Amino acid sequence: MADFIVRNDAGFEELHAAIREVFRESLFFERPTWDQYFMSIAQVVASRSNCVKRKVAAVVTRDRRIVSTGYNGTPRGTRNCNEGGCPRCNDLAPGGTGLLDCLCSHGEENAITQASYHGASLQNATLYTTFSPCLQCTKMIINSGLSEVVYNAQYPLGERSLELLKEAGVKLRQAGLGG
């Protein structure tokens, strides 16, 4: 038995219109917005994180092209967080404590330093990040010349960061996608 039956007593144009209506959902999908697209990429980049506490990533774009990506983890050439490389992340301390002892670089930090490492300017670029930036990353964002930050979820310790971005004229907006 067929899923759909199309009866047509008219011409070809009417038949074509009826078929298009039946298959509208499969023929005409909604493309993601640019925010959805780049935030989805940031979420995939976060899956590369080796941090055992929180997986965070950032994607830097200019003119709708990816300039750089970064995820949180221990510095290049050192033992990964999930292999015991960061004592703070591997202890049982509650979130938000012992942050000065953490050896992991943040996703935003790594995206910015990767751009620099490869000679890419971030002047007037946009940073998409899975969490709103901490104070240290905020300072790097401002000093690197980024003009906009789009974040998915609010980081619990970021109120001063939000104020500083505003004061520096860096546009900030939330484009929550869930997840």
Give pLDDT tens digits for 29-43: 788 999 999 999 999
Asked if residue 4 is part of any domain, the answer here is yes
Asked if residue 50 is part of any domain, the answer here is yes
pLDDT score recorded for residue 12? 83
The answer to whether residues 141 and 128 belong to one domain is yes
pLDDT score recorded for residue 173? 95
The answer to whether residues 125 and 64 belong to one domain is yes
The answer to whether residues 115 and 143 belong to one domain is yes
Nearest to 67 by CA among 59, 77, 55, 79: 59
- Which residue among the candidates 14, 21, 30, 108 is catalytic per the annotation? 108
What is the domain-level CATH number for residue 101? 3.40.140.10
The answer to whether residues 167 and 81 belong to one domain is yes
pLDDT band at 27 (very low <50, low <70, confident <90, very high): low
- Show the domain range for 147: 31-174
DSSP of 95-155, one letter per residue? TTSSGGG--PBPHHHHHHHHHHHTT---TT-EEEEEE---HHHHHHHHHHT--EEEEEE--
Q: How high is the mean pLDDT of the chain?
A: 89
- The residue with greater pLDDT, 124 or 87, is 124
Q: How many structural domains is the chain composed of? A: 2
The answer to whether residues 13 and 99 belong to one domain is no
Residue 40 contacts by C-beta under 8 Å, 6 or more apart in sequence? 32, 177
CB burial string 102-137: b at 16+ within 10 A, e below: bbbbbbbbbbbbbbeeeeeebeebbbbbbbbbbeeb
Q: Is 21 among the residues known to form the active site? A: no
The answer to whether residues 38 and 20 belong to one domain is no
Asked if residue 179 is part of any domain, the answer here is no
Query: Is the per-residue pLDDT at 92 higher than 80?
Result: no
Mean of pLDDT values over 35-55:
95
- The residue with greater pLDDT, 136 or 177, is 136
Asked if residue 117 is part of any domain, the answer here is yes
The answer to whether residues 140 and 59 belong to one domain is yes
Asked if residue 15 is part of any domain, the answer here is yes
pTM: 0.81
The answer to whether residues 7 and 50 belong to one domain is no
The answer to whether residues 6 and 45 belong to one domain is no
Residue 120 contacts by C-beta under 8 Å, 6 or more apart in sequence? 67, 68
Give pLDDT tens digits for 129-153: 999 999 999 999 999 999 999 999 9
The answer to whether residues 26 and 75 belong to one domain is no
The answer to whether residues 8 and 89 belong to one domain is no
pLDDT band at 177 (very low <50, low <70, confident <90, very high): low
The answer to whether residues 121 and 167 belong to one domain is yes
Asked if residue 144 is part of any domain, the answer here is yes
